[in-house]
């Protein structure tokens, strides 16, 4: 039978939200989880709440930096003003010292891995006349990204009523960060040594995982944040069983006993890794729909995918819940030519649309004269009558 080709070879599909209620509890007050392969949100909790986000603010600091700096390996000098007041505020620092010559790449690593406030201040002071001017750049980027629940008042992430965001907005910022290859390389590094070799930064995520014996081998990187007002926050990147995830959690309990943000990340990731995955819902040999034909040798035109159709679904999904809807011509005729678009195939799971794809005719169709004349007897009868009359006249003439 004929084959149908689709515009895309493999379709990674995803339901917007899981059907069953998530069977887990987390300490975090807000969360949003993405399947990065599809760009879909697969779990959310109070994702649009305006909240303090602690050092997740530094993701925007990093994003502004790569927008302003052409060469991350250009050098800058750490100044006294970059370090003033940090110890008094009990802020975490990367360990840069007054007069030290570093690169912007070093500063970004110090900003994102150990979450150094000294790195944030050095970046702000070197890229703008003042921190206030740098903050304006941050808020301009907020407008550019069309973030509705975000405003920054400092580059470090200090608790302040005018420094706020939401789990969703942070997820947008984090995705922008991951689009930059230099930032992604830093974010996903377990450690980084500065250009002069004086400092080595290690991932706070991996450090906490080892210290508290939390097994999260699928987490490939991320950014932590902690303040009294924000609680424990984490933006992380994970990969398991061929699926790429991104998770933002905020507002986890801050009791200095356990890294509850990392525990929450493990809880969420484990649930989806263990209960969901990419499923082959239709093989390339499967007929997923049939279109009637007219005057052709075959009664139906079999619609088959050119490659396996793959969807991110629950492990216990029922194939009977997959439906196909064809929107297009009601029948295939000799008027249809090879490579003609004949319609669109829509794929549903439990009556929720997963995707749609164009359907094309790919092989020459076979006309059936027998079917044509059997369905158009009115054409045959006059021909038969004419033939009979013709024979009769010839016989009559012969007798004469």
Question: Are the C-beta atoms of residues 222 and 234 closer than 8 Å to each other?
Answer: yes
Provide long-range contacts, Cβ within 8 A and 24+ apart, for 123-128.
123/61, 123/65, 123/155, 124/61, 124/155, 125/79, 125/81, 125/82, 126/76, 127/64, 127/65, 127/68, 127/69
Query: How confident is the model at residue 132, as a pLDDT?
Result: 96
Query: How confident is the model at residue 178, as a pLDDT?
Result: 97
CA proximity to 265, closest of 282, 252, 284, 281 = 252
Distances (CA, A) of 130 to 29, 105, 154, 163: 34, 20, 11, 17
Question: What percent of the chain is modeled with pLDDT above 90?
Answer: 68
Q: Which is the catalytic residue, given 2, 45, 47, 58?
A: 58
369 band by pLDDT with thresholds 50, 70 and 90: low
16 band by pLDDT with thresholds 50, 70 and 90: very low
Within 10 Å of residue 289's Cβ, how many Cβ atoms? 17
Query: How confident is the model at residue 305, as a pLDDT?
Result: 78
Distances (CA, A) of 169 to 6, 53, 161, 172: 35, 11, 17, 5
Q: Which is the catalytic residue, given 27, 28, 55, 155?
A: 55
The predicted-structure confidence for 258-275, as pLDDT tens digits, reads as follows 999 999 999 999 999 999
Q: Would you give the distance in Å from CA 173 to the centre of its chain?
A: 14
Which of 19-23, 312-316, 330-334 has maximum average pLDDT? Answer: 312-316
Choice between 184 and 281, residue whose per-residue pLDDT is larger: 184
Query: Residue ranges for the binding site?
Result: 223
Query: How confident is the model at residue 372, as a pLDDT?
Result: 52
Average pLDDT over residues 41-68: 98
Question: Are the C-beta atoms of residues 154 and 138 closer than 8 Å to each other?
Answer: no
Active site (annotated) includes residue 8:
no
Query: Residue ranges for the binding site for substrate?
Result: 223
177 band by pLDDT with thresholds 50, 70 and 90: very high
Active site (annotated) includes residue 58:
yes
21 band by pLDDT with thresholds 50, 70 and 90: low
pLDDT at position 334 over 70: yes
pLDDT at position 1 over 50: no
Query: How confident is the model at residue 103, as a pLDDT?
Result: 98
Reported pTM: 0.84
Please give the mean pLDDT across all residues of the chain.
Answer: 88
Choice between 307 and 116, residue whose per-residue pLDDT is larger: 116
pLDDT at position 10 over 70: no
pLDDT at position 337 over 90: no
Q: Which is the catalytic residue, given 2, 27, 45, 115?
A: 115
Query: How confident is the model at residue 7, as a pLDDT?
Result: 32
pLDDT at position 388 over 80: no
The predicted-structure confidence for 227-249, as pLDDT tens digits, reads as follows 999 999 999 999 999 999 999 99
The predicted-structure confidence for 338-360, as pLDDT tens digits, reads as follows 888 888 888 999 988 888 888 88
Active site (annotated) includes residue 319:
no
43 band by pLDDT with thresholds 50, 70 and 90: very high
Q: Would you give the distance in Å from CA 146 to the centre of its chain?
A: 18
CA distance 49 to 31: 10
pLDDT at position 399 over 90: no
Tell me how long the chain is.
400
């Amino acid at each position: 039978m004929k084959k149908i080709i689709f515009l895309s070879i493999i379709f990674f599909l995803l339901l917007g939200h899981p059907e069953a209620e998530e069977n887990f509890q987390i300490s975090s007050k807000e969360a949003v989880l993405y399947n990065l392969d599809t760009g879909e949100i697969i779990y959310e909790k109070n994702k649009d709440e305006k909240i303090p986000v602690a050092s997740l603010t530094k993701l925007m600091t990093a994003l502004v930096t790569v927008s302003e700096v052409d060469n991350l390996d250009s050098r800058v000098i750490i100044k006294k003003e970059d370090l003033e007041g940090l110890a008094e505020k009990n802020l975490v620092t990367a360990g840069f010292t007054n007069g030290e010559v570093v690169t912007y790449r070093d500063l970004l690593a110090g900003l994102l891995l150990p979450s150094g406030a000294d790195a944030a201040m050095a970046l702000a002071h070197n890229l703008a006349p003042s921190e206030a001017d740098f903050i304006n750049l941050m808020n301009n980027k907020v407008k550019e990204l069309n973030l509705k629940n975000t405003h920054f008042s400092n580059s470090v992430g200090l608790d302040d009523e005018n420094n706020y965001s939401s789990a969703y907005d942070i997820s947008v910022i984090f995705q922008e960060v991951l689009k930059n290859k230099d930032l992604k390389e830093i974010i996903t590094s377990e450690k980084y040594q500065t250009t002069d070799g004086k400092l080595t930064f290690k991932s706070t995520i991996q450090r906490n995982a080892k210290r508290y014996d939390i097994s999260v081998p699928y987490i490939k990187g991320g950014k932590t944040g902690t303040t009294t007002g924000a609680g424990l926050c984490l933006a992380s990147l994970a990969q398991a069983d061929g699926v790429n995830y991104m998770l933002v959690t905020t507002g986890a309990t801050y009791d200095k006993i356990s890294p509850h943000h990392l525990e929450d990340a493990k809880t969420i990731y484990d649930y989806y890794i263990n209960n969901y995955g990419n499923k082959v819902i239709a093989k390339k040999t499967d007929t997923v729909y049939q279109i009637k034909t007219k005057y052709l040798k075959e009664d139906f035109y079999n619609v088959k995918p050119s490659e396996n159709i793959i969807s991110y679904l629950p492990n216990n999904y029922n194939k009977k819940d997959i439906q196909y809807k064809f929107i297009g011509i009601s029948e295939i005729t000799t008027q249809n030519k090879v490579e003609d678009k004949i319609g669109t195939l829509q794929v549903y799971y439990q009556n929720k649309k997963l995707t749609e794809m164009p359907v094309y005719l790919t092989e020459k169709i076979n006309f059936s004269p027998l079917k044509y004349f059997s369905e158009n007897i009115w054409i045959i009868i006059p021909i038969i009558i004419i033939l009979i009359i013709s024979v009769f006249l010839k016989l009559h003439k012969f007798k004469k």
